[in-house]
Structure 1
Amino acid sequence: MEKYQKILAVIDPTTDNQKALKRAVELAQKTKATITAFLSIYDFSYEMTTMLSSEEREAMRQSLINDRHEWLKELINDINHPDIVINSEVVWHNRPFEPIIEQVLHNGYDIVIKGTHEHDKLKAVIFTPTDWHILRKCPCPVLLVKDHQWPAHGNILASLNVGSDESEHQSLNNIITEEAVNLGNLINGNVHLVNSYPGTPVNIAIEIPEFNANEYNDSMRQYHHQAMQEHAVKFGISPENTHVMEGLPEDVIEQVSTELDAELVILGTIGRTGLSAALIGNTAEHVIDKLNCDVLALKPDGYQSPLQE
């Protein structure tokens, strides 16, 4: 059975160009999935109108929801794929990420697809607070998409952390690579693996004069190269499709994805919440900010969304 059977496509109320819905249809054509086009709306002024009774407010809300339902129906009809089932759902909520995650938790979606905003001047992608919340807290894979096709024989880049002994990282490496291979088969793409490793910490070189930085770098490089080859072999990925470079993950992944002109980068998010997320940030988020292609973010096995608590 194909992996993606239930797709939640997040609708952008500010545009008629629904990138997420288009990508969901592309995927559903290959997997025979059903799609739910999901829209979360909220109008602060409706909540603040003290002159109205709660019944009148509810009627106004319902009227707006019905109006958006009609708009969604037209969008879906325009797509015109009679072989694909596309349902629609409109909810009233002032924090758009929460009902998206609640939909996943209650209805068992396999993937959430959401469009990203491109900044005209910078030609970069801008991620909204809603994007970050979904990336951190959604228990199923999240695909953030741009407005382009997935051509056959395009490159898929899977970002790994093969140098870590931690079982969570090793398990996530397997999840990411399996997903890359699965998608590679699905869209007829070439799978590449990338791994970055840190260079010599400057303070060590200064504090310990006899420390041999070149030797340290060589041994780090060899260690990561070997770990990468062992991992790639398990998944039948050829050595020329592996990329191991010194540097920060966000720089290395951006460089390799640009060189490959990757259609899609797949990475893991550990899903920190609370203070640690605010202070440390997440490698995935630094990476995503720099990328100008689709991004698929995956969680470790057993991940529980804070909204489940």
Structure 2
Amino acid sequence: MKDCHKILVVIDPTTDKQVALERAVKLASRHQASITLFLSIFDFSYEMTSILSAHEREAMRKGVIDQRVAWLADIVSKVSEPGLAIDTQVVWHNRPFESIINHVIDGNYDLIVKGTHEHDKLKAVIFTPTDWHLMRKAPVPVLLVKDHDWPVGGKILCAVNVATEDPEHQALNDKIISHANTLAAQFDADVHLVNGYPGTPVNLAIELPDFDAHSYNESIRIQHEQRVAELAKRFGVAANHCHVKEGLPEDVIPELAVSLDAELVILGTVGRTGLSAALIGNTAEHVIDSLNCDLLAIKPDGYKSPLQEG
């Protein structure tokens, strides 16, 4: 990732094993970046206790916060290494995603790193409401981490959209691949591009008997392959690392990620409005819930969080 100097790690209060912190330490060591461990906590029972005075409730909140600060200090001591700057921040807030994004904005952070939940039976990542809010509303890239390493010679999969030549779409594609190339150089990984294109609409084949579905499909495929090839050439991605497949993104991207045994999928997000290239929405929810690897969600240049605008 380019210009990554300050990393905010969202801590999972339910476990001592912090996969997001482990990933952030590796990233920080390659960027000489600083890390902040961020924990947002809230207990509604403290707010509803009418027996206690406001001062007593505040004292109880402070006691809980102090316990968590001590817990984070212990976590830091286990990952501390020379030259690595790590600090901690614990806040009392009833909406974790808001507290995270506000801290990112106020502190001018460059990246959010957060662990995801893995379902024991299906071995699939389960994304929490906080994950979704961060991907939709955070003004910086969000890296959602699973419990595995990034091995040497691993694979980074870029989900690109080449259905239109709109400059805004192209800029987002460029940004996705640029991030991938930076990470690939740092972790000795290979970059792959994936693009799904729609098949022949069934209604066309039914309503127009003379419609040549095969020729239509071939022309769409060739167009997408050419545009992906142009992207690959511009960014130095090997031609045999371009994957253009017929199908919906929610099917094509996870299937290829599994097939390649990719460590990371990078895609573009802008919330629920704006670019049709953005995957957030129903399509992305299917894509992301089917992934079994890390995910890096990238915003277009100039994106502003609703919390910045509010």
TM band (smaller chain): over 0.9
- 1:228 matched residue in structure 2: 228
- 2:147 matched residue in structure 1: 147
Q: Say yes or no: does 1:308 pair with 2:308.
A: yes
Deviation string for 1:144-178 (max 9, x for gaps)? 00011111110000000012222221111011011
Distance in structure 2 (CA, Å) of the matches to 1:2 and 1:237: 18
- 2:79 matched residue in structure 1: 79
Q: Say yes or no: does 1:214 pair with 2:214.
A: yes
Find the residue that maps to 2:165 and give its secondary structure: coil
One-letter amino acid of the counterpart of residue 52, structure 2: L
Q: CA deviation at 1:2?
A: 5.7
- 1:266 matched residue in structure 2: 266
On the 8 A contact 2:10/2:39 being kept in 1, the answer is yes
Q: Say yes or no: does 1:179 pair with 2:191.
A: no
Q: CA deviation at 1:186?
A: 1.2
- 1:163 matched residue in structure 2: 163
Distance in structure 2 (CA, Å) of the matches to 1:307 and 1:229: 38
On the 8 A contact 1:8/1:38 being kept in 2, the answer is yes
Q: CA deviation at 1:59?
A: 1.1
Distance in structure 2 (CA, Å) of the matches to 1:270 and 1:210: 40
Alignment of 1:81-160 (within 5 A): 81-160=81-160
Stretches of structure 1 lacking an aligned partner (at least 5 in a row): none
Task: Give the share of equivalent positions with the same residue, in percent.
Answer: 61
Instruction: Report the TM-score when normalising by structure 1.
Output: 0.96
Distance in structure 2 (CA, Å) of the matches to 1:125 and 1:272: 21
- 1:51 matched residue in structure 2: 51
Find the residue that maps to 2:30 and give its secondary structure: helix
Find the residue that maps to 1:266 and give its secondary structure: strand
- 1:284 matched residue in structure 2: 284
Q: CA deviation at 1:285?
A: 2.6
Alpha-carbon RMSD? 1.6
Instruction: Report the TM-score when normalising by structure 2.
Output: 0.95
Find the residue that maps to 1:193 and give its secondary structure: strand
Distance in structure 2 (CA, Å) of the matches to 1:301 and 1:186: 23
On the 8 A contact 2:156/2:265 being kept in 1, the answer is yes
Alignment of 1:184-199 (within 5 A): 184-199=184-199
One-letter amino acid of the counterpart of residue 153, structure 2: H
One-letter amino acid of the counterpart of residue 8, structure 2: L
* Deviant stretches of 4+, over 6 Å: none
On the 8 A contact 2:8/2:112 being kept in 1, the answer is yes
Distance in structure 2 (CA, Å) of the matches to 1:84 and 1:287: 35
Deviation string for 1:103-131 (max 9, x for gaps)? 11111111100000111111111111011
One-letter amino acid of the counterpart of residue 33, structure 2: A
On the 8 A contact 2:2/2:182 being kept in 1, the answer is no
One-letter amino acid of the counterpart of residue 290, structure 1: S
Deviation string for 1:33-57 (max 9, x for gaps)? 1000000000111011011111111
Q: CA deviation at 1:282?
A: 4.4
Distance in structure 2 (CA, Å) of the matches to 1:92 and 1:168: 38
On the 8 A contact 1:194/1:253 being kept in 2, the answer is yes
Q: Say yes or no: does 1:26 pair with 2:26.
A: yes
On the 8 A contact 1:269/1:282 being kept in 2, the answer is no
- 2:14 matched residue in structure 1: 14
Distance in structure 1 (CA, Å) of the matches to 2:96 and 2:5: 24
Find the residue that maps to 1:65 and give its secondary structure: helix
Stretches of structure 2 lacking an aligned partner (at least 5 in a row): none
On the 8 A contact 1:28/1:34 being kept in 2, the answer is yes
Q: CA deviation at 1:284?
A: 2.8
